[in-house]
Amino acid sequence: MTRMTLVKARMNRGTGALSVLLAASLALVPSTTARADEIRSQQWALDAMHAREAWRTTKGAGVTVAVLDTGVDDEHPDLAGNVLPTKDMVGFGASRGDETWAVHGTSMAGIIAGHGHGPGRADGVLGIAPEARILPVRVILEEKDPARSKARNTRGNALAEGIRWAADQGADVINLSLGDDSKSAHPEPAEDAAVEYALKKGSVVVASAGNGGEKGDRISYPAAYPGVIAATAVDKYGTRASFSTRRWYATVSAPGDDVVIASPDRRYYEGWGTSAAAAFVSGAVALVRAAHPGLTPAQIKQLLEDTARDAPAGGRSDSYGFGFVDPEAAIKAGGKLEPEGLHPAGYGQKYFGSGPDPDQDGGSAFSWAAPVAGGLGILLLGGAVVLWRGRIRRDHTDHYGV
């Protein structure tokens, strides 16, 4: 099996570059690796996040999560009925049926709001908030899209515009599984202002912390903008993923290695990246928002910090933030809060810490790791592999209205 490096797609943002932190590269293995009905059993992240316990309260009904990405396949059997019409901020590039259309965005949407398919919805992927709605906002193109060069030169403000548009549509959560952690990365005033605008409108903003853990832990934007919930990645053993960036803005950690993802090609992959971690956190926020719709972005961010499991020594670290995200605990604690007036979450506040943690911090394990990892076997690290590449049994697929 081939071990692949992370796939990235970049778009200029003025003088900067926007890099989508793709959760999967494509390394194929024989189709006998797993049958479709075995996909669910490999979603270790659902157990790690105590998803089923949280679902006793809510599965995210009534909440809209804007996925600012490469587009989302609204016809995918695991998402059909949960996806609202796409807003395309790019305006050109690949379209449905093309190999370079909506791959990354569909993967993230599945993590957030996948509902499975087939009899009893036992096949395919389940998201953390399977009854939430996905609002796709296309702000970037896939790496191999022939139109990327044109997008670089003409659509540099797509991300800022997309954030504002999503907030204006009343998005409860804005998922940004993307980021710029290049050497030239720097804050873009238009993006910073767009994030502040979204927070003031009541949208919780979640972003990938960055995949630069083995490349100097460079700062990644939009994760570093004030008020953003920045997600770092851990593996199924609860250990910081080696690629996960360690910086002061880390809020919470979430699954980001050997994560099962869906694709428009109707295959399922194992992928890795803080993109996936951000999607899991966005799903967790959707559950909290569904249970407590009156809470502000600032309150929800604080809830995630206060209720995170397995907090690092001292209460916080640049590797894990305040610990592993726990939607069930956040939902329970949220019931004790009084809704506050809307205000930007975190603006004017200082960041935590001054730099990456000591190396030994990355080696700690979470309490859930042993029971969750048991029986899963050794999974390929550092890339993505096809778990199942048969065709979906469309005669058993039904729509899932929310």
- Environment class of residue 128 by beta-carbon count within 10 Å: exposed (0-12), middle (13-18) or buried (19+)? buried
Extract long-range pairs of 31-34: CB within 8 Å, 24+ residues apart: 31/386, 31/388, 31/389, 31/390, 33/385, 33/386, 33/387, 33/388, 34/268, 34/387, 34/388
Of 50, 76, 104, 117, catalytic? 104
Residue 343 token pair: 């205000």
Q: Can you spell out the DSSP letters for 301-338?
A: HHHHHHH-BSPPTTS-BTTTBTSB--HHHHHHHHTTPP
Q: What are phi and psi of 196, to 5 degrees?
A: -60, -40
Q: What angle do CA 52, 53, 58 make, to 5 degrees?
A: 80
Of 69, 172, 258, 357, catalytic? 69
- Tell me, yes or no, if 184 is annotated catalytic: no
Of 177, 208, 275, 317, catalytic? 275
- Tell me, yes or no, if 104 is annotated catalytic: yes
Alpha helix positions (H), 92-188 = 103-113, 148-154, 158-168
Residue 313 CA, distance from chain mean position: 26
The three-class DSSP label of residue 241 is coil
Q: How do strand 385-388 and strand 268-271 relate by DSSP bridges?
A: antiparallel
Determine contact, residues 301/229, Cβ cutoff 8 Å: yes
- Tell me, yes or no, if 95 is annotated catalytic: no
Sequence-distant (6+) residues with CB within 8 A of 56 are none
Residues designated as active site:
69, 104, 275
